[in-house]
């Protein structure tokens, strides 16, 4: 389903040495996972014997019992296409190997040996096992069947899933095997582990799994031994973790007394295309691998995953002050460098009382504060026209006065009327020409003021507007430094709220945030805004969602629509989402010519549309294929 796969980490209760009882628990969990449409489930290290069997792992009776139980499991999953990864002791060439067996539909697809054997403190695996680090291109006899054996094995469905397996200490090594697996195409990684509990160790372990998923641009599923392992010298908590590209999707409650599993849906299509879009992944060294084709996997009937409707906005768990400080500092220091290099002291900003000009002014004010520059050198210009309301103008004036900047008011009505006369446009014809004349008049004034004062015109247009081309070419589209160009509308609202900490402007900001977004270019009725942007081009929260998934990993329009229907399921119906996604696609493609000559501006997040860095596209692309796919 749109590149999503359901994965599970299982923690089974263990009876050390009783492989039959352990096998019964494992089989029950595999069947439960299959009912829940899980594609792959991973179990802890040495699943059937128990990790703490220790020197008994070298005993013939225990190994024979393990193999009998393994055969019993295979016999009972012949019609189960969920892949299971089980920890086994493998006896090969008169050596013992700590291994992971990958099984499906009653068959062993391959066996992967552990590369790095810990031999320190409470761990002494070299007493029992031989490293499998150099084993490649070979097979092993498993229950009278020759199966692929080695650290060079990857498993794929020939669609979006390719996975690799490593075992416990492998992840803690300087160069984990998963690095090479990822370089060779594995976007899903599994780890069978027996990691004991120490004070604070579970936090480090989760961080290790999470960061490895980020480094490998993959999903990473981890399962560690739990209840039932020996407590002679160590205690095992049964830690299970599922991460995706640097984010922890799910982890269990440790020290549970029952067998259980955790399940998450991971987006492997997204991970494949992220590798294409934004990393040096392609330069990773490839090794020779054997890629084993798996049978058809369970199909997902529904997606069991929360889709963030605000992908540009930090999660509610993030430290808001820290995130906003970071954003504002990027803006402020970008502006400081530009002004210092050009030996410019004055900043000229058009102030409308809207979101974008508010953030540009606040961030410029921050830059001046950092440098100890005179706030009076910030020239804020409010330029009321035919559609300006008392509310927006009042907010603009009050904000400038509270910040102590220089405020100028220039009415553009007469200027616009003269322009209409010059181009022979009827002033009562409220067309695009009527609107654009006003937008260009404002930009022209700002440029001329900056020229007179030796200042820099600060652009206020945001990333969302740039994506949609919602600007007047050579009007508000142009500036000398586009301060908001890396910030989408939904994030601008988030950052402006942060400035409410300044009690002098709290009430002003509250009113600005509650004011409908409007260019205020059409005459108003009764001093009320009549031109609401979002009723014309659609909700910015939807467009930001579309933009993120379209640019971040090149998602297909049909997938974007599906994810949006999940993210906004109680707010917008599917027809509404499809309507505005159609608008987004049309505007995004047809408005590239504006982006091709947009001014410099600081990149703030991972997505930018600067033609000099992040987004290079022809202005005359035929976009029918995207509309047809939608």
Instruction: Tabulate helix, strand, coil % of the chain (nearest 5).
Output: 40, 20, 40
pLDDT for the residue numbered 316: 67
From the list 263, 168, 176, the residue with the least C-alpha distance to 211 is 176
pLDDT for the residue numbered 534: 93
Catalytic residues: 45, 114, 168
Instruction: Give the number of other CB atoms < 10 A from CB of residue 415.
Output: 18
pLDDT for the residue numbered 572: 97
- Please state, in angstroms and rounded to a whole number, the distance separating the CA atoms of residues 150 and 132: 7
Report the side by side order of strands in the sheet with 153-156.
247-251, 240-244, 219-224, 188-193, 162-167, 153-156, 290-293
- Judge contact between 461 and 425, C-beta under 8 A: no
* Mean residue pLDDT across the chain: 95
Contacts of 451 (CB under 8 A, 6+ apart): none
- Which backbone phi and psi does 407 adopt, to 5 degrees? -115, 130
- Please state, in angstroms and rounded to a whole number, the distance separating the CA atoms of residues 411 and 415: 8
User: Residue 72 pLDDT more than 80?
Assistant: yes
pLDDT for the residue numbered 559: 98
pLDDT mean over 65-93? 98
pLDDT mean over 144-171? 98
> pLDDT tens digits, residue range 90-112?
999 999 999 999 999 999 999 99
At residue 531 the predicted structure's pLDDT band, cuts being 50, 70 and 90, is confident
Instruction: Give the number of other CB atoms < 10 A from CB of residue 427.
Output: 13
> pLDDT tens digits, residue range 220-271?
999 999 989 999 999 999 999 999 999 999 999 999 999 999 999 999 999 9
DSSP assignments along 542-600, one per residue: HHHHHHHHHHHH---HHHHHHHHHHHTTTT--HHHHHHHHHHHHHHHHHTHHHHTTPPP
Tally the C-alpha atoms within 13 A of residue 613's C-alpha that lie toward its C-beta.
15
- Please state, in angstroms and rounded to a whole number, the distance separating the CA atoms of residues 443 and 459: 10
Residues in the chain: 630
Q: Under DSSP, is residue 458 helix (H, G, I), strand (E, B) or coil?
A: strand
Domains of the chain: 4-293 (3.60.110.10), 320-629 (3.40.50.620)
Provide the b/e sequence for 254-275 (b: ≥16 CB within 10 Å): beeeebbbbbbbbbbbbbbbbb
> pLDDT tens digits, residue range 465-524?
999 999 999 999 999 999 999 999 999 999 999 888 888 999 999 999 999 998 888 988
From the list 74, 27, 65, 26, the residue with the least C-alpha distance to 47 is 26
Q: Using DSSP bridges, classify how beta strands 219-224 and 188-193 pair: parallel, antiparallel or unpaired.
A: parallel
- Please state, in angstroms and rounded to a whole number, the distance separating the CA atoms of residues 259 and 30: 11
Q: Using DSSP bridges, classify how beta strands 240-244 and 247-251 pair: parallel, antiparallel or unpaired.
A: antiparallel
pLDDT for the residue numbered 429: 96
| Sign of the four-CA dihedral 134, 140, 146, 150 | negative
| Total-model pTM | 0.93
Choose the weakest-confidence range: 208-217, 305-314, 318-327, 377-386.
318-327
From the list 331, 210, 326, 217, the residue with the least C-alpha distance to 274 is 217
DSSP state letter for 259: -
> pLDDT tens digits, residue range 413-432?
999 999 999 999 999 999 99
pLDDT for the residue numbered 563: 98
pLDDT for the residue numbered 520: 87
């Amino acid at each position: 389903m749109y590149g999503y796969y359901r994965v599970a980490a299982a923690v089974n209760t263990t009876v050390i040495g009783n492989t039959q009882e352990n096998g019964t628990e494992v089989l029950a969990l595999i069947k439960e996972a299959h009912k829940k449409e899980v594609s792959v489930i991973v179990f802890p290290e040495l699943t059937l014997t128990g990790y703490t069997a220790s020197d008994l792992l070298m005993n013939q009776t225990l190994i024979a019992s393990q193999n009998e139980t393994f055969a019993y499991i295979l016999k009972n999953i012949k019609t189960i296409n969920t892949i299971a990864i089980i920890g086994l002791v493998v006896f090969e060439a008169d050596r013992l190997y700590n291994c992971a067996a990958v099984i499906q539909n009653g068959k062993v697809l391959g066996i992967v040996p552990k590369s790095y054997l810990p031999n320190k403190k409470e761990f002494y695996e070299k007493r029992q096992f031989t490293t499998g680090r150099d084993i490649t291109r070979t097979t092993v006899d498993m229950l009278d069947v020759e199966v692929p054996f080695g650290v060079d094995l990857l498993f794929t469905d020939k669609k979006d899933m390719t996975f690799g397996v490593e075992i416990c200490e492998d992840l803690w090594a300087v160069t984990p095997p998963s690095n090479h697996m990822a370089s060779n195409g594995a976007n899903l990684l599994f780890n069978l582990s027996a990691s004991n509990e120490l004070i604070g160790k579970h936090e480090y372990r989760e961080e290790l799994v999470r960061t490895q998923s980020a480094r490998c641009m993959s999903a990473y599923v981890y399962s560690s031994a739990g209840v039932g392992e020996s407590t002679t010298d160590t205690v095992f908590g049964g830690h299970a973790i599922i991460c995706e590209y640097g984010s922890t999707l799910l982890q269990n409650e440790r020290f549970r007394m029952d067998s259980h599993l955790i399940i998450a849906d991971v987006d492997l299509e997204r991970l494949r295309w992220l590798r294409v879009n934004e990393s040096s992944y392609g330069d990773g060294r490839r090794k020779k691998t054997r890629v084993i084709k798996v049978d058809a996997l369970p199909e997902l009937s529904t997606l069991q995953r929360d889709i963030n409707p605000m992908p540009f906005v930090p999660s509610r768990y993030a430290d808001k002050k820290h995130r906003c400080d970071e954003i504002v500092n990027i803006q402020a220091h970008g502006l400081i460098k530009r002004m210092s290099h050009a030996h410019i002291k004055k900043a000229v900003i058009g102030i409308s009382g809207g979101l974008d000009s508010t953030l540009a002014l606040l961030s410029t004010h921050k830059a001046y504060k950092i440098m100890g520059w005179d706030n009076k050198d910030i020239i804020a210009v409010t330029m009321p026209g035919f559609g300006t309301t008392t509310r927006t103008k009042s907010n603009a004036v009050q904000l400038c006065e509270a910040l102590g900047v220089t405020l100028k008011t220039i009415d553009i009505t007469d200027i616009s009327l003269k322009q209409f006369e010059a181009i022979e446009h009827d002033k009562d014809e409220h067309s695009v020409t009527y609107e654009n004349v006003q937008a260009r008049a404002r930009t022209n004034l700002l440029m001329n003021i900056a020229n007179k004062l030796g200042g820099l015109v600060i652009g206020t247009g945001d990333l969302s507007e740039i994506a949609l081309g919602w600007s007047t070419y050579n009007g508000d589209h142009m500036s000398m430094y586009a301060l908001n160009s890396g910030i989408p509308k939904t994030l601008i609202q988030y950052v402006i709220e942060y400035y409410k900490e300044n009690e002098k402007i709290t009430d002003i900001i509250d009113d600005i945030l509650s004011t409908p977004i409007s260019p205020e270019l059409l005459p108003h009725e009764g001093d009320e805004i009549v031109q609401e942007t979002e009723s014309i081009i659609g909700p910015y929260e939807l467009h930001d969602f579309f933009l993120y998934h379209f640019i971040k990993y090149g998602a297909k329009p049909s997938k974007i629509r599906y994810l949006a229907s999940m993210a906004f399921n109680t707010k917008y119906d599917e027809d509404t989402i499809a309507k505005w996604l159609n608008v987004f696609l049309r505007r995004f493609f047809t408005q590239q010519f504006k982006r091709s000559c947009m001014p410099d501006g600081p990149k703030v997040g991972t997505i930018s549309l600067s033609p000099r860095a992040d987004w290079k596209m022809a202005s005359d692309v035929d976009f029918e294929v995207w509309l047809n796919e939608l």
